[in-house]
Amino acid sequence: MNSKRLIIGLGQLAAAVTLLGATALASAQPGDVSQGAALFATHCAECHSMKEGKNKKGPSLFATFGAKAAQREGFAYSDALRNSQLVWNAETLSRYIANPKATVAGGKMKYEGLATASERNDLIAYLAHPVQ
């Protein structure tokens, strides 16, 4: 191996290590996207779509992961969610899905909550990386 190739190789190795580190930090236990899709179909699809702009009883959840709460156009959010200052990440989504009424008092998501943490984790993996 000449020295130029060695340097490129080391650069790739460093990038791979950085990526692995970031993934490990983002979630100690990565959720299962296909389990999440099945949970979404059972628990959420009555009111939510992952399609951009498709609001049902609840707002479209397209690109909601990573976004501020209550930003979808054409959906009449509660004042409570609008004023919540929430940003949807793994931690806030897990709290909200576990107990919407306690997380956003006065909100209008009529869902009793998903008690099992591993199921919430799978669902959040799907919200972050939907498979269409």
List residues binding ligand HEC (CB under 6 A): 43-44, 46-48, 57-59, 61, 64, 69-72, 77-78, 80-81, 88, 93, 97, 104, 107-111, 114, 123
Instruction: Write down the least CB distance from residue 113 to ligand HEC, Å.
Output: 8
Look at residues 65, 42, 69 and name the one whose alpha carbon lies nearest to residue 125.
65
Name the residue nearer to ligand HEC (CB basis): 12 or 118.
118
Name the residue nearer to ligand HEC (CB basis): 3 or 97.
97
In terms of C-beta density within 10 A (0-12 exposed, 13-18 middle, 19 or more buried), how is residue 44 classed? buried
Q: For residues 105 and 19, what is the distance between their CA atoms, to the nearest angstrom?
A: 38
